[in-house]
Amino acid sequence: LNKGDVVLRAEGLRKTFGGLVATDDASFAVERGSITGMVGPNGAGKSTLFNLVSGFYTPDAGSVYVNDTEVTAQDPHEVAREGLIRTFQTPRKLEGMTVREAMMVGATPQAGESILPLFLSPSKVTAEERQNLDKAEELLERFEIAHLIDEPSTDLSGGQLKLVELARAITTDPDVLLLDEPVAGVNPTLANDIKRFIRELNEEGQTFLIIEHDMPFIMDLADPIIVLDQGRVLMEGTPEQVRTDERVIDAYLGG
């Protein structure tokens, strides 16, 4: 890959928790414009790698680059400002907020609660934030959940919450969007919709790195696919290469 074609690069990432090595010498790159998949057995280190590249964990060794800018050990909001946004395996609790309010909290890159006081003084909403909220509402329409905008977010199903998370993330216009298990616990019909939305957004230029446990889903959606095993990158290839690789079969069967 040429320099400008890489939106995210991880080099030699290592993270230990006490005596446990969660990832070791993990290196990979995400090509601009791709839907890159990340798979591996439970405990392989997928979520840890997401936390390392998005600034939620500090690596013990190794480096992270977003658009060729080094972001190693920077805070999540600094990494977000460079263009990397991630969603969580379990959507964050949005108790007490309607969907609209939840979208507003997400209208600034990983700003978290800092924008909450704006609800009390709408006049302080900047033009940019207003624009982001409009964009978020458009995305909810596209995701076919616009009718839920004034509902308490706690009334949403797991799948609907995942769509709200996706809309919030897209609103910030990231260079690369990391999704951690976007269809975990989602019914097959909605999972198919989510696949279609991701594909459409990708056709419009959005780059994705997606962890997913559901093999048929990720094999159908992503190319290339990075396979992790025991904290290391076991291989990277097309879905067909991954499907037929002896090492991958062994890793899953050996569990």
b or e along 112-142 (b: 16 or more beta carbons within 10 Å of the residue's beta carbon)?
Answer: eeebeebeeeeeebeeebeebbebbbebbee
- Asked if 13 contacts 49 with a C-beta cutoff of 8 angstroms, the reply is yes
Say whether residue 40 binds ligand ADP (CB under 6 A): yes
Residue 43 contacts which entry, ligand ADP, Mg ion, none (Cβ below 5-8 A, type-dependent): ligand ADP
With both helix axes pointing from N to C terminus, report the angle between 188-203 and 158-171 in degrees, rounded to the nearest 10: 10
From the list ligand ADP, Mg ion, none, partner contacted by residue 20 (C-beta under 5 to 8 A by kind)? ligand ADP
Q: For residue 84, what is the DSSP state?
A: E
Q: How far is the CB of 141 from Mg ion (least distance, A)?
A: 31
Looking at beta carbons only, is 48 or 87 nearer to ligand ADP? 48
Query: Which residue's entry shows tokens 């998370």?
Result: 165
Binding track over 129-168 against ligand ADP, x by CB under 6 A: ----------------------------------------
35 close to 223: Cβ distance less than 8 angstroms: yes
- Using N-to-C axis directions, what is the helix angle for 127-142 and 158-171, rounded to 10°? 140
Q: CB-wise, 101 or 181, nearer to ligand ADP?
A: 181
Which lies closer to ligand ADP via its Cβ, residue 181 or residue 193? Answer: 181
39: three-class secondary structure by DSSP: strand
- Binder among 34, 36, 47, 153 for Mg ion (CB under 5 A): 47
- 96 contacts: CB under 8 Å, gap ≥ 6: 152
206 forms part of the interface with Mg ion (CB under 5 A): no
Q: Which is nearer to ligand ADP, 120 or 253 (CB)?
A: 253
Residue 44 in contact with ligand ADP, rule: CB under 6 A:
yes
Residues 91-110 interacting with Mg ion (rule: CB under 5 A): none
Interface with ligand ADP (CB under 6 A)? 17, 20, 22, 40, 42-48
Task: Point out which residues bind Mg ion (CB under 5 A).
Answer: 46-47
